[in-house]
């Protein structure tokens, strides 16, 4: 039942802001889609403000206004559409979105509404915080990453100097103005507390996968295995975005080391900034054991994730505490073991060790990765045990229903406070 605004008989509404939303298939869009649909089904008035763009297709033009997902009102603002290929074009897309969102929020928000800012584009919380203050709305930040720290860690020089310090100060002000700051893991939570953000405002709610649709599936029942002629293969998959924060060299070096073992097949499913380098490596070294597949439709994820015998997750150690790869949850839902390339003491490395659902190796240690792959290929019972451990961990600690309930309780508590 919807909460009421203090001092009025009018139900407050929830307003979410993110650059992408349903039916877009980007990771931030899918998380927001699930949460918005869940809250609308529970009777909350939910509005989403987003762009008319698609993550993979900047030429896409979604409707300016529509009602979807059983009652979610979507308001899409017009922006430039240069796409993600060039930094200057991307910056203009960001700036036009900031301006359009600010003016739209001034018309949409009312006193007592709760507005939730995600982090696409970066520093969106600064713009949303200003609009919330003007309109008397309550701000919640939902951090999928920590910017500008992640940019500085990835080598964007300007973000490591005075401009970066100024941006961090603006970002920190928007975090301190919020009733709640939701992060994805303990490393992100520690970083925010270290920025003098009130500890009581920091809440850890992991991302999720649709663990009702994505379940362990026998290879014999998987049409993708048959379509790709993988029936007798041990398939090692990397699924999703292979971006600047991810590490591909160790994966490629391991694939090259295992090129002489025809039963082991690598599949890179998705795209991202490093895909071009992957293609070039495959061509230079003439590798025949790597297949490149496009992003899979959300309804096909059960087959896509279940088609592999082992999944890879990678994250550069420099960005630990700023990003938490959400691939873990879909892989665990499919009941498959995980090979993590990154800091073994980082968020994913600790999860893999804690739940005994795979192995972790440091970037550059292709020999260790190849050895683990070879060992699992030769021991299907061990692979099955690790995969079962991953699913059990998901069911007990990281289910979709658990995270959605945590969000429901958090937002209900915030909306019920005296404004």
- Tell me the per-residue pLDDT of 234-243, one tens digit each, with 9 for 90 and over: 999 999 889 9
403 in the same domain as 393: no
- Contact assessment for residue 250 and residue 370, using Cβ atoms and an 8 Å cutoff: no
267 in the same domain as 174: no
pLDDT digits (tens, 9 = 90+) for 62-85: 999 999 999 999 999 999 988 777
Distance (Å, rounded) from C-alpha 360 to C-alpha 348?
9
Structural domain contains residue 59: yes
254 in the same domain as 355: yes
User: Given this model, what pLDDT does residue 316 score?
Assistant: 97
156 in the same domain as 224: no
pLDDT digits (tens, 9 = 90+) for 357-387: 999 999 999 999 999 999 999 999 999 999 9
User: Given this model, what pLDDT does residue 8 score?
Assistant: 45
Q: What is the number of structural domains in the chain?
A: 2
pLDDT digits (tens, 9 = 90+) for 195-217: 999 999 999 999 999 999 999 99
232 in the same domain as 112: no
User: Given this model, what pLDDT does residue 418 score?
Assistant: 46
User: Given this model, what pLDDT does residue 7 score?
Assistant: 45
| Residue 14 β-bridge partners | 46, 114
pLDDT digits (tens, 9 = 90+) for 275-302: 999 999 999 999 999 999 998 888 899 9
Structural domain contains residue 288: yes
Structural domain contains residue 347: yes
Q: Does residue 419 surpass a pLDDT of 70?
A: no
226 in the same domain as 369: yes
Structural domain contains residue 8: no
Structural domain contains residue 5: no
User: Given this model, what pLDDT does residue 280 score?
Assistant: 96
pLDDT digits (tens, 9 = 90+) for 302-349: 999 999 999 999 999 999 999 999 999 999 999 999 999 999 999 999
Structural domain contains residue 99: yes
Distance (Å, rounded) from C-alpha 90 to C-alpha 297?
25
- Mean pLDDT lowest for which of 5-9, 213-217, 398-402? 5-9
Quote the mean pLDDT of the chain: 93
Rounded mean pLDDT, 5-33:
82
303 in the same domain as 202: no
85 in the same domain as 110: yes
User: Given this model, what pLDDT does residue 11 score?
Assistant: 58
Distance (Å, rounded) from C-alpha 168 to C-alpha 101?
21
Burial 319-355 (b: 16+ CB within 10 A, else e): bbbbbbbbbbbbbbbbbbbbbbbbbbebbbbbbbeeb
228 in the same domain as 183: no
224 in the same domain as 313: yes
Structural domain contains residue 4: no
Q: Does residue 5 surpass a pLDDT of 80?
A: no
The rounded percent of the chain whose pLDDT value lies above 90 is 86
* E-only strand ranges, 342-411: 358-361
Q: Does residue 148 surpass a pLDDT of 70?
A: yes
Structural domain contains residue 214: no
User: Given this model, what pLDDT does residue 417 score?
Assistant: 63
Rounded mean pLDDT, 400-419:
87
Given pLDDT bands bounded at 50, 70 and 90, which one contains residue 110? very high
| Residue 76 β-bridge partners | 50
User: Given this model, what pLDDT does residue 9 score?
Assistant: 41
Distance (Å, rounded) from C-alpha 186 to C-alpha 46?
29
Residue 390, domain extent: 219-397
80 in the same domain as 20: yes
Rounded mean pLDDT, 23-31:
90
Query: Rg of the Cα trace of the chain?
Result: 22
Distance (Å, rounded) from C-alpha 266 to C-alpha 288?
9
263 in the same domain as 128: no
Distance (Å, rounded) from C-alpha 263 to C-alpha 315?
27
Rounded mean pLDDT, 227-248:
94
Please report the DSSP string for 148-166 in residue order. Answer: THHHHHTT-GGGGSHHHHH
CATH code at 306?
A: 3.40.50.2000
């Amino acid at each position: 039942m919807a909460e009421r605004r203090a001092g009025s008989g009018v139900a407050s509404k929830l307003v979410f802001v993110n650059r992408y939303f349903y039916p877009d298939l980007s990771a931030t869009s899918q998380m927001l889609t699930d949460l918005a649909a869940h809250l609308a089904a529970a009777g909350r008035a939910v509005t989403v403000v987003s762009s008319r763009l698609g993550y993979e297709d900047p030429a896409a033009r979604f409707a300016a206004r529509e009602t979807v997902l059983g009652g979610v009102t979507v308001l899409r603002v017009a922006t430039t559409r240069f796409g993600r290929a060039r930094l200057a074009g991307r910056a203009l897309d960001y700036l036009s979105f900031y301006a359009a969102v600010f003016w739209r929020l001034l018309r949409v928000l009312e006193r007592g509404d709760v507005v939730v800012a995600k982090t696409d584009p970066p520093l969106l919380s600064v713009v949303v915080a200003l609009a919330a203050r003007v309109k008397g709305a309550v701000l919640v930040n939902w951090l999928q990453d920590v910017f500008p720290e992640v940019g500085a860690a990835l080598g964007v020089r300007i973000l490591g100097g005075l401009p970066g310090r100024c941006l961090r100060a603006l970002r920190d002000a928007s975090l301190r103005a919020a009733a709640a700051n939701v992060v994805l893991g303990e490393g992100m939570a520690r970083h925010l507390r270290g920025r003098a953000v009130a500890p009581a405002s920091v809440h850890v709610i992991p991302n999720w996968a649709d663990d009702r649709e994505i379940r362990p599936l026998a290879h014999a029942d998987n049409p993708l295995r048959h379509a790709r002629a993988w029936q007798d293969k041990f398939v090692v998959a990397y699924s999703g975005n292979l971006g600047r924060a991810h590490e591909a060299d160790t994966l490629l070096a391991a694939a090259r080391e295992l090129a002489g073992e025809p039963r082991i097949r690598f599949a890179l499913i998705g795209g991202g900034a490093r895909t071009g380098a992957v293609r070039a490596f495959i061509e230079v070294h003439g590798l025949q054991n790597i297949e490149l597949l496009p992003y899979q439709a959300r309804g096909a994820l059960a087959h896509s994730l279940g088609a592999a015998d082992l999944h890879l997750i990678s994250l550069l150690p420099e960005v630990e505490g700023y990003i938490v790869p959400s691939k873990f949850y879909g892989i665990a839902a499919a009941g498959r073991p995980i090979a993590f390339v990154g800091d073994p003491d980082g968020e994913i490395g600790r999860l893999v060790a804690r739940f005994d659902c795979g192995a972790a190796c440091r970037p550059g240690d292709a020999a260790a990765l190849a050895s683990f792959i070879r060992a699992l290929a030769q021991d299907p019972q061990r692979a099955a045990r690790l995969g079962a451990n991953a699913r059990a961990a998901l069911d007990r600690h990281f289910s979709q229903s658990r995270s959605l309930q945590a969000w429901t309780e958090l937002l209900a508590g915030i909306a019920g406070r005296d404004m």
